[in-house]
Structure formats: structure tokens, C-alpha cells
Chain A
Amino acid sequence: MNSLSEVPLAYYLLLSGVLFACGVLGFLIKRNIIAIFMSIELMLNGVNLSFVAFAAHWHALSGQIFVFFVMVVAAAEAAVGLAIIIAVYRTRETLNVDQINLLKL
């Protein structure tokens, strides 16, 4: 097996870490609530990659199953979260999180 056909596990973990860090950064600096929500999805994706890499590393498929559950939770989260965003927009008419800081109208 030549060296081109294998990728060190550390590379996958690094990529996953970089994606997660980008997600955290987006969560901090973004002010649009939809963009913040997308940063959360980015973090979930970064974690998923490390799950799959570890599954391949330890030859255990259960790591992949975990990713399925993460996807299901992400789908549920997206549905409810976007519904909340629509409801918020309907009452506040803004998507800027700095202006959505009151519990009453």
C-alpha cells in the first residue's frame, strides 16, 4: 500500500476541529439569527466528521450510526428552530439578535 492511499487519522480530526472552530466563531460574531443557526449546523457537521473518522479507525460501524442520530436531531432542530425564527420575525420584524433581547413585546 503506497503512502498516497492512506490518510492519517489526525488529519481528519484536524479538519473536524477546524470546522467546529469556524462554527463557534460564526456563532459568536454573526448577528443574523439565521446565520447563527447555520453556524450550529456547521459545528454539528464538524463533529460528525470525527465520528466517521473514528468509526473507520476502530473498525466499528456504530460510529456511523451515531452520525445518523445527529442528523435526525439536526433535522428536528432545524424544523423547530426555523419555525421559532418565523414566529419571532412575525412579532419583531427583525432578524438581528441584538434587537431580540426582551421577553415581552
Chain B
Amino acid sequence: MLHLPLFLIFGAICVAGAINLLVQRHPINSALSLIVVMASLAVEYLLLGAEFLAAVQVIVYAGAIMVLFVFVIMLLNAGEEEHTQGSRVALLLGVPGIAIGGVLVAWTVLRHSNTEAVALGALPGPPKDVARLLFHDFLLPFEVTSVLILIAIMGAVVLASKPGAIVRDRRPEPAQEEKRELAAVGKER
């Protein structure tokens, strides 16, 4: 029950968040509105019966990926963005273009759907069924993505670490060692 009102409420929050992402000049505000979009999308997934997916959406997307974004924004101390020539051209061409494309898509979608409706809980996505599918039918893609993740982690570590930080000479400098010994016996100059 009450599927449609819930869909409309959270759909409106989604769209409002997405538009706020575009309007805000400061990246941290954009990041927060993206988090709002993701959280309300999780509710939409719940309405579609995909419980496990909703939880994963919150944990992975809103809780991990977006924390990474916020972390980088904080780390680089990103300020407000300034508009340039390029962004003005994109704005002038992009908004009408997207609007026309959107209207076309909406018209197509609405014209071809007269009676199709998705009932709430029509397809329960209990974790067990999802797991069976993931670890039986899609086992190979699953394993391949794990390799992808591993490569991505290594790539991120190599890219983000300072040049020369990974290959480090582990031998302590002799001068420092000597100084430490002198300090230990209390003879430091």
C-alpha cells in the first residue's frame, strides 16, 4: 500500500537533490546533495522489493564512495568553482539540448506504457536469492570484478602516493644512528 505516494515523495527528493548538485558552486554542497540522491534512491529500491540492494546502495555508495569524495574535497581544500567561457557555452547549448532530449525520452516512455505497473513487493529480492544468483550463475564475472578491484586499489595507491614514497631506502642514515647513540648515553652536543 501507499506505493505511489512514497515513490512520488522520494522521487521528488531525488530530483531536487540532483538539481541542487548542479546549482551549488561549492563541491562539498554538491557532494551532500548527491548523498541525498543516493539515500532516496535506496528507498526507491526498497519500494521495488530489492532490500539487499537498498542496503548495499547505502553502505557502498552513500557510506563509502561518497565519504571518499568528501575526504578528497576536505584534503584538497577545494574552493568555490568559478565560471569560465567554456562553462557558459556548455550552459547555453547543454540546457536546451538536454531538455529536448528529455522531452523526447519522456514522450516515448509514456506513449508505450499504458497498463504496465510495478506492484510493491512484486519481486522480493531476499539476500538468499541474490546470493544464489551471484555465486552460481554469475560466478565468473564476480571473480573478474574482484580482480578489477584489486587492480584499482593498487593503481590508486601508486597514483596517490608521493613520487618515490613506495620504493624507500630502509637503511637508517648512519649519521642519524650515531646521533641517537650519542643521545642515548647523554653526550649529544
Contacts and interface: CB of A to CB of B under 8 A. Distances in A.
Q: Are A and B close enough to touch in the complex, i.e. CB under 8 Å?
A: yes
Interface of A: 1-15, 17-19, 21-26, 28-32, 34-35, 37-39, 41-42, 45, 48-49, 52-53, 55-57, 59, 61-62, 64-65, 67-69, 71-80, 82-87, 89-90, 95-96, 98
Q: Is the interface of B mostly helix, strand, loop or mixed?
A: helix
A7 B117 contact: yes
Q: Is the interface of A mostly helix, strand, loop or mixed?
A: helix
Contact of A26 (B21, B50, B105, B153): B21
A97 B57 CA distance: 29
Given A11-B7, A68-B56, A73 B145 contact: yes
Interface in B97-139: 98, 101-102, 105-106, 109-110, 112-113, 116-120, 122-123, 125, 129-130, 133-134, 137-138
B90 interface: yes
A38 B160 contact: no
Interface of B: 1-5, 7, 11, 14-15, 18-19, 21-22, 27, 30-31, 34, 37-38, 41, 44-45, 47-50, 52-53, 56-57, 60-61, 64-65, 68-69, 72-73, 75-76, 78, 81-87, 90-91, 93-95, 98, 101-102, 105-106, 109-110, 112-113, 116-120, 122-123, 125, 129-130, 133-134, 137-138, 141, 145, 148-149, 151-153, 155-160, 162
